[in-house]
Amino acid sequence: MTASRRARSMNGPERGQSAMATHGRKKSANGLKANATLAQMKSGFQWACEYGRTRVVDFLLQRGIDVGEMHRGQTGLHWAAYAGHADIVRRLLERNAPIDLRDERWRNTPLGWALHGWKNPLTATAETHYYDVVSLLVAAGSTVELESIPDETLRADSRMLAALRGETTASQSAEP
């Protein structure tokens, strides 16, 4: 099976990484091809934000990727928030990523995406990271829209209520 056919047959994050790494002759240390187009770098940035690939996010930010650009209808902050990657959310906020941009399909902000991800976590371990993500977004000034919050779930979770009030979570205060 050829590398490109194998890349097309894979699912999940490995598919995106292999596809980026196998097309073209020269690759960077992050697996991205050296002659990637701007559109490919923007897609790679969103992929890295969603799948928690911090080194790739840093690499692309150093190459001039705009943290506020709506590529294919959403920003990298939307994807990092949705997947519960607090470290990437923090990096994007440090670079002044816009916090209240609404995506083009669902018309929701990164905070709304984080709350959706919290209610429907991608993995069991990601669930606890949403408290940090929500707290970071609120502390940065994100608007809390009560209509987008699942009431019954929210009322049962005092940690999420605290995060929505912008109170620092235990894992944030433990970080250097």
Q: pLDDT digits over 100-138, tens only?
A: 999 999 999 999 999 989 888 877 666 679 999 999 999
Sequence-ordered list of residues with C-beta below 8 angstroms from that of 120, at least 6 positions apart, any chain: none
Higher pLDDT, residue 27 or 119:
119
User: What pLDDT does residue 173 have?
Assistant: 44
Confidence class for position 29, pLDDT limits 50, 70, 90: low
| Annotated domain spans of the chain | 77-174
pLDDT above 50 for 169: yes
pLDDT above 50 for 99: yes
pLDDT above 70 for 24: no
Fold of 77-174: 1.25.40
**Neighbouring-strand partners of residue 27:** 33
Contact by Cβ (8 Å): 59, 32: yes
Q: Which two tokens stand for residue 93?
A: 């906020």
CA dist 147 and 132 (Å) reads 21
Q: What percent of the chain has pLDDT over 90?
A: 54
Average pLDDT over residues 59-86: 96
pLDDT above 50 for 9: no
User: What pLDDT does residue 76 have?
Assistant: 98
User: What pLDDT does residue 57 have?
Assistant: 97
